[in-house]
Structure 1
């Protein structure tokens, strides 16, 4: 691989002159510029991006922090961010925080040290103070961090209302909810949406709400216990698709037929929901569109362009499949 010194030698100029051409900084005569560009082309020279970012105190890179890369929702979101960032000439550094405050802060420090231009983050532990200290554009996605911070979310409560009412319309008379982690904004909203629909029903019991922690294994265990304690349950609304799939597996282990004896609805609309057996009825988020919008907004903020609207709440839709 050619070095900047070799480019300078071939072009008959100094290394500083080559650097000015590469960074488009400082005056370089047109003839000299053409000689440098020709030398770069002949030697197939590729600038050291790390060195350039250290020199410029910025890079063509954005950070993406997600809470759980094992949840298929986040790789699908990451794909949208990467696709969109690439179109604008940016690379993406993907960080998996595991909802761990210490790990999340370590990633923030690393991203700053690498002079990223901006960050897209899905977090329930990051604070407004942390964002302010970064002193670079940040867009929150999936979960709201603070008022005023550019944010992309969905109609969580509306989706929960739709899912629960749909199960009632299908003839379910005892509907349970597998909720996400306590204190996670979208999990709380989905649980509240379910509760608003069923809390006036004579059959409703708080024990119909169980913790699945947005995790398949946790959901399997919670569903097994739920159905053993309440065999009368004939419908389940799970707060994400992974937990809904866990609920289907638990039902299978107990010999409960889905959907004949138990109808199940998820939330997210991940691609995996369409290949389960039976295929999963779910509340679909526009995952790709959300990632695309977040990235475009971040790029505009990084380029100090007017963005106008900085808070988006996307609508959701129910897709009916064989689990109901």
Structure 2
């Protein structure tokens, strides 16, 4: 196996000079660097990446923890995140907790042992906030509140909920059915505040910020006098539960005339409506919440509340690199420099520190909703 000593002998230089060229961490003249490079090519020398990273106390590996990659949202986000990290010279190590029954603590242990440079945490966890702060290593949370000292990036779900409600309010619906994840996860941390979400009373702040979507959506419908019911999907990693929820919506609420659901649930609702002879959007309006590829595969173009996957991924990568000593985030495009907005801190939202960001959402009109009557 060819090593640095062989390259040094071939180039007629010292091994320290070869090391400087390979690692790029010192001055070597252009002529000397070219001699070393040519010697490396002649000998087919491949630098030991692991040894180089260990000498720098870096691995260029990032743990990405998500609940499941079966769900279209997390599949789409993971793809964007892998690209964004790759552009920064980093590699993603994926942990899909629900798919392989992995414990988050295994990845935390790897981070503590410096086997990874940082973690992007996007899965549900029941650990107290002081657990995360005690790790004292680079961690960025996605749509999860892990504590005041842990940077947070998420979509502006308050905006998303209001966008969805606005469509229904101004197209004259009477009975909306929401389809979403288990509400028991909305209350997972002790605090001092209390907020209501339908029949759920939440004491203190939640570790699950997407609650803002449901709060904003339901409050807007309530103010407009529109009935809203909720159908819960217990495990978002089980695709058949989305189909069952769509069936349940029609069986349980005969007078429903509008549905909002994650993309997969919305697509199943389209199929169920067609099977029952309901016309879309005349008899039933449907909004997909997320805007993944699934929202284009329902048989018609769904109106969707669009999450900015690339914007989220770029912000997560930037925040993580800012937390890793010796690393700098380098925007690949000018749009990456404007991919986020500061999180507003008002009393209607759960508390966050100033290191957090919300990524704007947008409304993409499709064939599954009617024109506004404004």
TM-score, normalised by the number of residues in structure 2: 0.73
Conserved? CA contact 1:286–1:316, under 8 Å: yes
SS in 1 for 2:62: strand
Match of 1:158 in 2: 159
List gaps (5 residues or longer) in structure 2. Answer: 187-207, 330-341, 343-353, 370-374
1:210 aligns with one of 224, 231, 240: 231
Where does residue 314 of structure 1 map in the other structure?
359
Look up the SS of the partner of 2:278 in the other structure. Answer: coil
Q: CA deviation at 1:11?
A: 4.3
Tell me the residue number matched to 2:7: 7
Distance (whole Å) between structure 2 residues aligned to residue 22 and residue 209 of structure 1: 59
Please give the alpha-carbon distance, in whole angstroms, between the structure 1 residues aligned to 2:28 and 2:163. 63
* Residue in structure 1 matched with residue 219 of structure 2 by the alignment: 196
- Cα distance in 2 for partners of 1:301, 1:88 equals 14
**Residue ranges of structure 1 left out of the alignment (5+ in a row):** none
Secondary structure at 1:282 match in 2: strand
Shift of 1:19: 4.8
TM-score, L = length of structure 1: 0.83
Q: How far, CA to CA, are the matches of 1:203 and 1:27 in structure 2?
A: 70
Aligned residues of 1:179 and 1:190 also touching (Cα < 8 A)? no
**Could you tell which deviates more after superposition, 39-48 or 100-109?**
100-109
Shift of 1:107: 2.9
What is the Cα deviation at residue 310 of structure 1?
2.5
| 2:345 corresponds to 1:300 | no
SS of the equivalent of 1:323 reads coil
Structure 2 SS opposite 1:199: helix
Match of 1:249 in 2: 271
Say which SS state the counterpart of residue 107 (structure 1) adopts.
Answer: helix
User: Whole-Å Cα distance in 2 between the matches of residues 24 and 306 of structure 1?
Assistant: 16
What is the DSSP-based 3-state SS (H/G/I as helix, E as strand, rest coil) of the residue aligned with 2:254? coil
Q: 1:107 to 1:251 in 2, by over 3 A?
A: farther
**Distance between the aligned counterparts of 1:108 and 1:180, measured in 2?**
26
Distance in 1 between residues matched to 2:246 and 2:29, nearest whole Å? 72
The structure carrying a bigger helix percent of its residues is 1
Contact 2:111 / 2:137 at 8 angstroms: preserved in 1? no
Q: What displacement does 1:258 show?
A: 2.6
The 1-side partners of 2:272 and 2:145 are apart by 32
Q: Is the 8 A contact 1:101 1:126 kept in 2?
A: no
Question: How many matched pairs?
Answer: 321
CA drift at 1:31 = 8.9
CA contact (8 A) 1:198 1:204 kept: yes
Q: Which residue of 2 aligns with 1:149?
A: 150
Root-mean-square deviation over aligned CA pairs = 3.4
CA distance, structure 1, for counterparts of residue 114 and residue 267 of structure 2: 39
Matches within 5 A, 1:260-279: 260-279=282-301
Contact 2:130 2:147 in 1 (8 A): no
Q: CA separation in 1, counterparts of 2:266 and 2:44? A: 52
SS at match of 1:93: strand
Inter-CA distance 310–125: structure 2 relative to 1 (3 Å threshold): same
